[in-house]
Structure 1
Amino acid sequence: MEQVLRPIYQERASQSNTLGVILVEKREEQSNVTDTFDTVLLIIVKEAEQPVFTKHYLYEGNKVALHTVTEKLIRKWLLVGSNKKVVDWIFFGKVLFDRNEFLHKLKIELQEFPYNGRKIKTGIQFSKLIRRYLEGKEYFDKGSYLDAYNHVVDSLHHLGRLSIIDSGLYPEVTVWAQVKKIEPAIYKLYEELVTSNEPIEKRLELLFLASEFLIHSRTRDGAQHILEVMQTKETWSIQELHDHRELINYSVDLEVFVEYLVDKGYIQVEPVVAKNDRIFHRHYKADKDALEIEQ
């Protein structure tokens, strides 16, 4: 297949904007990694009008997908964890072209997983965990157990990814295989939730109790990134937090996360007088005393 596709990727490799080309073949045991395609060509470029441009090809009954993706979007996917297949492609795909060792350096970066990168990724995953946990708890309290179950499964996925990130690794597509080795206790919780013969209400009740402890024990690490950002300025409006170049990656989970940290005493609310002296803007500041106590 590589020889058949050579004219396609060589044309792009000759362009100065192209940073690297990776070939990924479907593995029978993991066809989802290539979205069921037989072959994927990933072309990473420095800049493009469209962050992602995709083409599909057919050759003698084989399906081929070509994705041209900007470096900026690749790095966002790796940071936010919104496209887990890319980690697999970069680690296990065959490098066909590598300008100035871009892909080689990227692999080393992923393997070493810089400390600051871990802090940001931990914060993003923790904010997602908080949203799913709180929404699941709300459904549980209302008696909507199937909706609660879906949210708890998602929250356990985020908890599992956090354990992998804490160990200095990148969460891969087969995240539970990693969790089983790194943190068996979280794997056991997941296993009990999905395989237990207990009534769903009982399973959820036990999971919420266990999850509450696990979440509490990880709160300071999960909040570290956002609190360090907030310490660079005395107070913040919610829009200023949304607009910050690093916090923008928290997306729709940011406000729920901020409220959770207010409730836990990590963030203080600072009322600021608005035009109407009976209404106040709600600004936020990192609670330095709470940080010192935790440290």
Structure 2
Amino acid sequence: MATGDNWIEVGKLTWFYREALPLNSSDRVPVVLLHGIPAQSYSWREVLPALANQGFRAIAPDWIGSGFSEQPDRRDFAYTPEAFLQALESFLQAMGIERFALVVQGFVGSVGLQYALRHPEQIDRLAILNAPLSTAAKLPWKMRQLGIPLVGDMMTQDPLLIDRTLEGGGGYRVEDADLDIYRRPFLRSSDAGRSLLATIQNLQLKQVTAEIETGFQQWSQPILVAWGLRDPWLPLDMAKQFIHHLADAELVELEEVGHYPQEDWHEKVSAALLPFLRRQPR
């Protein structure tokens, strides 16, 4: 298995992505994993090799404005869901990814759900981990305050916001060595904080979740919803209501796991994902 950290120029934007490749060629579709906020692709660091060990090419990008991807000024990138959708489409095209399994988590990971609805022909199957699925979803205060003018400008320049948010999402302590990776973009440049501020200010959560809520009523591809039960922000009932009318959907409850399942307990995430990715559609 080969793994690596990579950058790719896509138009005027530079994406950073982590990739794990299987040792042998495989006819399995690639798997694209999208993180939430204020995280980065590093959160998938243990899941990527687990997928590659089972023959999947696994790719996890940092969203534009997050992690080690470019953090442009909002005059050059709008940080709206539409801007993220267009950027994601261009990234996938540049990577030569045409049909794939999609895994999404968290806020902004919800843009991945919009992408699936707008490009269903590309989606082999879809896995959702603790993402806003209905208009009942609310951005938690811990994140919402990061978008308040003046207050948010100061808070998003504090690298410790990563500690407070990631650990507040599940109650688990993140190891210092891992927090060092999460904090690094904020220590390197003030652009990271400004990008996070712009992302939160432009989430348009009501409009995005309305599209998700209505759009998936007609969805037919396989769906896995793997839900961390210790999520203080998004309740399990939201996941149950979401899959209620879906033709090919399963719900896996992840006990003792919070809002960031891949960070809290990656073994449980891989154990849920791998059988789903391998099985034949019903």
Fold conserved (TM > 0.5)? Answer: no
Higher helix proportion, which one? 1
- Which structure is higher in RCO with an 8 Å CA cutoff and minimum separation 6? 2
Measured against the shorter chain, the TM-score band is under 0.3
Larger Rg: 1
Q: TM-score, normalised by structure 2?
A: 0.26
